[in-house]
Structure formats: structure tokens, C-alpha cells
Amino acid sequence: MRKIYYAAAALLMFSCSTKKAETLPETFQRINTEVLQNSKAYATLGEATSTIGHRLTGSENGFKAEEYTYNKFKEYGFDDVQYLEFEVKAWSRGNIEVEIDGEPVPAVTLGHSPLEADITGGLVDMGNGLEADYAAKPGAVKDKIALVYIGILDGSPEGLNNLHRSEKTAIAIKNGAKGIVIINQVANGVLLTGTASVTGELIPIPAVCIGKENGMALKEKLKTKGVNAHIQMTNNSDLIRARDVVATIKGTEFPNERIVLGGHLDSWDLATGAIDNGIGSFSVLDIARAFKANNLTPKRTVQFVMFMGEEQGLLGSRYMVEQEIKNGTIENIKYMMNLDMSGNPIGINAGGKLDLPDFFTSLGAEIQKIDTTFQNKFTNRSGLHSDHQPFMLEGVPIVGVISNLDRSIYGCYHSDCDDFNLVNEQHMINTARFGTMILYGLANADQLPAKKMDSETTRQFMIENDLKEALKIGGDWKWED
């Protein structure tokens, strides 16, 4: 009897030791099935927008959002969940009145405008608000108010690179303007907010946004006569505390190597921020849930980060990177994946110098076998003004998804129409399942497709991506020319 027992035990041990390891396609199929059945991204975003509302950094709503996502990570089975608290001066809006030739015009204040302003002056049409527009009219806005289009106007010269509203404001300030009026590019009077500061500090002039129709009518009027504007506003700037929320799964083979997946949880205060960036940050939350639900244990440590303060100057991501540099651990971050207004992925964008150029298309091919909704497109580009930026400037390779969303939803970006009714549930499910596959494939790779870039390689990558001018305007260009 004892011999039979030992034989059975030996057989059991042999069968356990020879159990076939799950292949990547099998893991992806398992992820796909689970997320299709159990995704919580749409439901949690719906709950948060209805019970919390906007998620402005430093506000009571922002605090509630931080707490909500912390508790969700715990609910999904994470033992290691931390708040990364930072203290900064944050901005919030007060009152605004804009009159043009004595008539009131609907407008919203742009972030980091002065605490008080009351100015009157002539409007000057500065076109796209780029350096070339001011060079063509030297001294034109000195002690006047610049009128600038937020995008690139039809009929502009070919090949122009647009700049962020904050960079256009910085150029106006440099040229002596005492105020700036930015024309939104979305029809039907939609008003846009967002920071007008490249540094996250208060700017010295009032900055406002007006609707497209009113702005274009002003441009026509200025062709034949002068126009005066009166801008009066009050705002607030207080020392606030905010918290990034960080959940961690420790790697099995390379625990000191980390892959960071982040999305900014904060939003502006005009609406609920469902698109910017609810669809990104609540997809991050669901990808974290999928890792736990599928018992995914990658070779490298994975950190899921809900950043706060992105809208007011990448405050949370800058703080995290500063702490990593201070602690001597920035070298441990091997990749940063960012989801900002991302959804319904059809491909992968990877920034950095790729040692394995076929890695992401090979990974994407496995995802495409699961569902041809994912078209396996690939790009190797990068931009600015989201939470990947501080990591990228330290040479950390970045990755994101190529989205296939209804472009009309972006019209409510930073506006009072950015609400949950714009969100497509299937698109969020697609972000969660494909995003989980991309993140797991990267974190579990035998060899990563790119290494952290040294300073000179990072500089060259910024130049190749036409980012030097914007980084210089924003004070983030750390290299000598």
C-alpha cells in the first residue's frame, strides 16, 4: 500500500513538474475572454462621473477621485497600493467678463491666468500665434491684446508645426501683449479651457478662450476697422496637496525592472472629464483589474499609476520622476506606457531608439489573431503635454496606442460638454483587453525592444520629433545648442 502511495505521489510530482507552460497566444486568448466578460472600465467611469463629477486637482472632487481609485485597486486584489503625495500651488477659476466693442462675449478663463485682471486694449489679429506671425508684424501687439487661433488656419503655409495654447501665450507675452484671446476651433460656440502657462506658474497677462464663430467674425471685422476688448477676471491660486495613486505587481524574474502604465485621473472643472481623461485612466484601472483577475505574473514589475495634476502642468508625473531621480531609481524604469484620451486601439506607437524594431509588430500580430479590430499599425513618434513627457526627457522609452475613436468626441476636449454620454462602452472594452495584452507582452518579454536613452540620444530623438522649439519655450530643453 505504501509503495502505491509513493508511486502515486511521484507521478503527481512528475505531472506537475512537466505541466506545459502557457504560450503567449494562449495567455492573450484567456485575457480576451475574461475582459470581454468582466470589464469594469465603462461601469466605473460611469459611477465616478455621476457620483464625483469633475476631478480638478486639489479640489474636494479630486480628493474623492483619488480615494475612489485607491479603493478599486484594493477591491481588485492589490496588496501594494500607495499614495504618492505632492504639494504644489494649484490654480482654480473665479469670475470672468469679456466685452468686445462694448458687447458681452461668452468666454472662459485659461488656466494660470492672474488672480486679478482688468484690462482694456485694442485687439490685434496674430493669425496662428506662432513666432512667424509676430516676426511678420514686429511690435504689433505691444500693450495690446493678441487674437490667436488655437490651431492652424486654413490657407496657412504648408508644413507649419502647431504649438500648444500655453506656448502661444508665452510667445504673446514675449512680444509685449497685455492679454491674449484664443479662438477655439470647434463649431457651435464650444468654449475650451486648459492651462496657458508653460511652467505651471501664474502668467502675467489674462488669457481667455472664445468660440469659433465669434472669433472668426472678429477676424473679419479687424480687416477693415479697429476693435477694442475689455477683460475682467478673478482667479485663485492656493497651496494644495494631491496624490498619485500607485498599484504594483512585483516581477517574478526582474523585480527591479519596472514598466509603468499611467493615465491622468484629474480633469478640468467645466464638465466631468469623461473623455479627457476618463477613457484613459479608467482603462488603466481595468487593465490592472485584468492583470489580477487573470493571475498575470510578468517577469518585470508593473506599476499602474493614476496621475493627478496633469492638466495644470504634468504635476504628478513630474513629481514621480523627480522622486525617482532623487532616490537613484530612475534607471529601473524601463518603459512608460501612457493612456491619455486613448481608446479603441488599432496599433501601437513606441517612442525611443528601438533595438528590436519588429518587437511591437510581432506582438501586435498576436493580438490581431485574436481580433482584427486591432489592425497592427505601428509608429515610432512622440509628442508632448502628457504624463509620458517627464519620463521621456530622462530617456525612458515610451509606448502608447494608436486610437480609432470618433473624432467628434474630441470637440468637447476641456469643455463643458465632456460628459459620460460621449463614451463608447465597446471602445473602452477594446482598450482594456488590447492594452492588457500589450502591457503583459512588454513586461514579460525575454528582451525589451529599447533601452533607456543616454542624454545625447534623447536630445536627438527630441529634434527628430520636432519637439525642440516647444521644449525651449516651456523651459524643458536641458541641452546646450
Q: What is the DSSP string of 79-128?
A: S-EEEEEEEEEEEEEEEEEEEETTEE--EEEPBT--SEEEEEEEEEE-TT
SS3 state of residue 136: helix
* Distance, first Cα to last Cα, the chain: 83
Q: How far is CA 118 from CA 94, 178, 474, in A?
A: 13, 10, 26
CA within 13 Å, CB half, 436:
33
- Burial of 16: CB neighbours in 10 Å, binned 0-12, 13-18, 19+: exposed
Per-residue pLDDT, 20: 83
Q: Is the pTM of this model over 0.85?
A: yes
CA angle (57 as vertex; 171, 210 as ends), nearest 5: 45
Helices assigned H by DSSP within 358-424: 359-370, 389-392
The model's pLDDT over 44-95, given as tens digits with 9 standing for 90+, comes to 999 999 999 999 999 999 999 999 999 999 999 999 999 999 998 889 999 9
Q: Which of 126, 90, 341, 96 has its CA nearest to residue 209?
A: 96
Q: Cell triple for residue 20?
A: 506545459
Give the other-Cβ count within 10 Å of 46's Cβ. Answer: 16
Residue 262 contacts residue 435 (beta carbons within 8 Å): no
Find cell 485607491 and name the residue.
70
Q: Where in the chain is the domain with CATH 3.40.630.10?
A: 24-80+250-473
Per-residue pLDDT, 475: 94
Ranges assigned E (strand) in 283-323: 300-307
In sequence order, what are the residues at sequence separation of 6 or more whose Cβ sits closer than 8 angstroms to the Cβ of residue 420?
A: 45, 46, 49, 50, 272, 274, 278
Residue 306 contacts residue 381 (beta carbons within 8 Å): no
In whole angstroms, give the CA distance from residue 111 to residue 90.
Answer: 10
Q: Where in the chain is the domain with CATH 3.50.30.30?
A: 94-235
In b/e form, how buried is each residue of 331-357, taking b as 16+ CB within 10 angstroms? ebbbbbbbbbbbbbbbbbbbbbbbeee
Ranges assigned E (strand) in 290-410: 300-307, 333-338, 345-351, 377-379, 398-403
In sequence order, what are the residues at sequence separation of 6 or more whose Cβ sits closer than 8 angstroms to the Cβ of residue 388?
A: 262, 317, 336, 338, 351, 382, 398, 400
- Burial of 301: CB neighbours in 10 Å, binned 0-12, 13-18, 19+: buried
Per-residue pLDDT, 481: 77
Q: Which of 175, 181, 109 has its CA nearest to residue 145?
A: 181
In whole angstroms, give the CA distance from residue 180 to residue 281.
Answer: 32
The 3 state secondary structure assigned to 412-472 is HCCCCCCCHHHCCHHHHHHHHHHHHHHHHHHHCCCCCCECCCCHHHHHHHHHHCCCHHHHH
Per-residue pLDDT, 19: 62
Per-residue pLDDT, 18: 52
SS3 state of residue 381: coil
CATH 3.40.50.360 fits 24-80+250-473, yes or no: no
Residue 222 contacts residue 194 (beta carbons within 8 Å): no
Q: How far is CA 232 from CA 12, 111, 240, 265, in A?
A: 79, 15, 26, 31
Per-residue pLDDT, 360: 98
In sequence order, what are the residues at sequence separation of 6 or more whose Cβ sits closer than 8 angstroms to the Cβ of residue 229?
A: 98, 99, 100, 120, 121, 122, 123, 145, 179, 181
* Residue 414, Ramachandran bin (φ over 0: left; ψ between -120 and 50: alpha; else beta): left
| pLDDT means over runs of 10, the chain (481 residues) | 44 50 97 98 98 97 98 98 95 97 98 98 98 98 98 96 97 98 96 96 97 98 98 96 98 98 98 98 99 98 98 97 98 98 98 95 98 98 96 98 96 95 98 98 98 96 95 94 77
Measured in degrees and rounded to the nearest 5, phi and psi for residue 262 equal: -135, 160
SS3 state of residue 14: helix
Q: What is the CA radius of gyration of the chain?
A: 25
Q: Cell triple for residue 57?
A: 486637482
The CATH fold of domain 94-235: Glucose Oxidase; domain 1 (3.50.30)
